[in-house]
Amino acid sequence: MRKLFKNPHFLMLLYSILVAGSFTVGHLITSYMDSILLIFTRFFLASIIFGFYIIIKYKPKWPSLKDSARYFAISSTLVLYFWGMFESLKYTTPIKTGIIYTLVPMFSTCYGYFLLKEKPSCLKIMVLFFAMTGAIWVISDGSILKLLNLDFGKGDILFLLACMSMGLFSPFSKLFSGEEETPVMTFWTLVTGTIILFFPAFNEIIRYQWLLFPVKLAAGLLYLVIFPTIITFFIVQYSSQKMEVSKVMSYIYMIPVFVVFIQMVTIKVLPEPVILPGIIISGICTFLFQKIN
């Protein structure tokens, strides 16, 4: 079992499942709190909870100025992504953002080429393209007309920029990794992210009625803090040091597939037969991508 949890491919599948679950949970709690405050609270609680484990297990020293700059660079990619995501949803739809999000592995592959000299083969790019096509097919419910009728505007451009930032997370985690253990790097990434978010969230922190904190919001935040934040940050940073960033981020294409399966289990909604080809294509292409040397 311990060997399994050291396998980056298994961990990235787990990452896809946890992120897929966060869409359902996030949808349930966004009405309870302002988006920037929600992101800050998520980072802050993750830093506190994970911090107890890190202090007891690793007894980390305060980072130097150079190390702080590394952590700042990594966390800023996530902060910009989350801010851009919530801000863009004021002007666009989840379907459009889901389609744009499929570009993240492409961005990571390009960054990996320029920053890490990880040159993907033509076959890899082709398989990645088909995986992206399969994911888009699932998101658009297998309707070509639905895709053609989409009108991309201000919110979509903003989310595209957010995805370009997210694409840097895996390459930066590899480029700026130091001699510290991966969990320690994850912890300081969370802490610096919290510090960055404190300033834009300050007014909302003062204004929010913390004594009236809803139980539903608390339960949702607990899931988001532990699973799609602490655990997934660690998984991506660990996996990025074990394999090419293009392979790491290709698992994003499994997220729409797992969203479908989670809906089947939680709310008993069966997928439309028309989206099954997209599920199959995404699964096969993601698997093949890992096998290409």
Query: DSSP 3-state assignment of 107?
Result: helix
pLDDT digits (tens, 9 = 90+) for 228-246: 889 999 999 999 999 988 8
The rounded distance, in Å, linking the Cα atoms of 135 and 13 is 15
In this structure, the number of other CB atoms found within 10 A of the CB of residue 113 comes to 15
pLDDT of residue 155: 83
Nearest to 285 by CA among 128, 59, 88, 55: 128
Say which residue, 111 or 31, is predicted with more confidence: 111
pLDDT digits (tens, 9 = 90+) for 63-86: 999 999 999 999 999 999 988 887
Least confident of 119-123, 157-161, 257-261: 257-261
The answer to whether 253 touches 282, Cβ cutoff 8 Å, is yes
Whether residue 194 has pLDDT greater than 90: yes
The rounded distance, in Å, linking the Cα atoms of 121 and 119 is 7
The rounded distance, in Å, linking the Cα atoms of 53 and 103 is 35
The residue-averaged pLDDT of 113-121 equals 90
The answer to whether 60 touches 180, Cβ cutoff 8 Å, is yes
The answer to whether 254 touches 10, Cβ cutoff 8 Å, is no
The rounded distance, in Å, linking the Cα atoms of 28 and 78 is 22
The residue-averaged pLDDT of 23-29 equals 76
Residues 6+ apart with CB under 8 A from 84: 158, 159, 161, 162, 163, 165
The residue-averaged pLDDT of 179-198 equals 95
The answer to whether 136 touches 99, Cβ cutoff 8 Å, is yes
pLDDT of residue 82: 85
The residue-averaged pLDDT of 136-154 equals 78
pLDDT of residue 26: 76
Helices (H), the chain: 8-29, 35-58, 65-88, 94-101, 104-116, 122-139, 144-148, 154-166, 169-175, 182-207, 215-225, 232-240, 245-250, 255-266, 276-291
Residue entry with tokens 């007014």: 203
